[in-house]
A and B are shown apart, each in its own frame.
Chain A
């Protein structure tokens, strides 16, 4: 069945790079997404990548996609305290309009 897996926690020092990983199972997924959720708030789309791309960069964010291994990663350069949040990975299977969500990775920033 369809499944998206993420580690539950990641702890990094302020100023270091954070790399959040995600694996998915549906090879037909056309789009893959990263969402950010700050405490007590809804989810905010951070970035997405089309399945025919290997990499997408947007300022401090770099998304890497390995379709062969069904592995998606989000790298945040120069991690700041404002990056502290839960990051959700999601895939968009071709068969319907629903996103399949990972459980979220809580990013903890150490001073």
Chain B
């Protein structure tokens, strides 16, 4: 059973709206990640965090922003949604790699459609 939760599962929203995609994990992981993925395509890292008050941009430029005020919560915000933001957004978390061999744990994703 997944210990990392993303809401909403699906979202259809109009251009120009502000949206926040939620991601929460109950595993106490320090490290969290947001990926953008078009259906059936490769993963693109857009944001990551190594702990509270730590956020970094990933390899793919994104107009979204993130915050990490609590260990378990890593929301992603789009201030003004555009059709080009239509995609699937995947959240993941991981333990310190010295302790864990298990890579990342992923949420089920949010499928965003901007009309």
* A-to-B contact residues, CB < 8 Å: 30-31, 33, 35, 40-45, 48, 50, 86, 88, 90, 92, 97-99, 101-104, 106
Contact = CB atoms under 8 A, between A and B. Distances in A.
B101 A101 contact: no
Chief secondary structure at chain A's binding surface: strand
Given A41-B109, A43-B90, A98-B48, A33 B103 contact: yes
6 contacts: A41-B109, A43-B43, A86-B40, A97-B94, A104-B41, A106-B40
A86 B102 CA distance: 19
A99 B103 contact: yes
Contacts of A98: 33, 45, 48
Given A40-B111, A97-B31, A97-B97, A45 B102 contact: yes
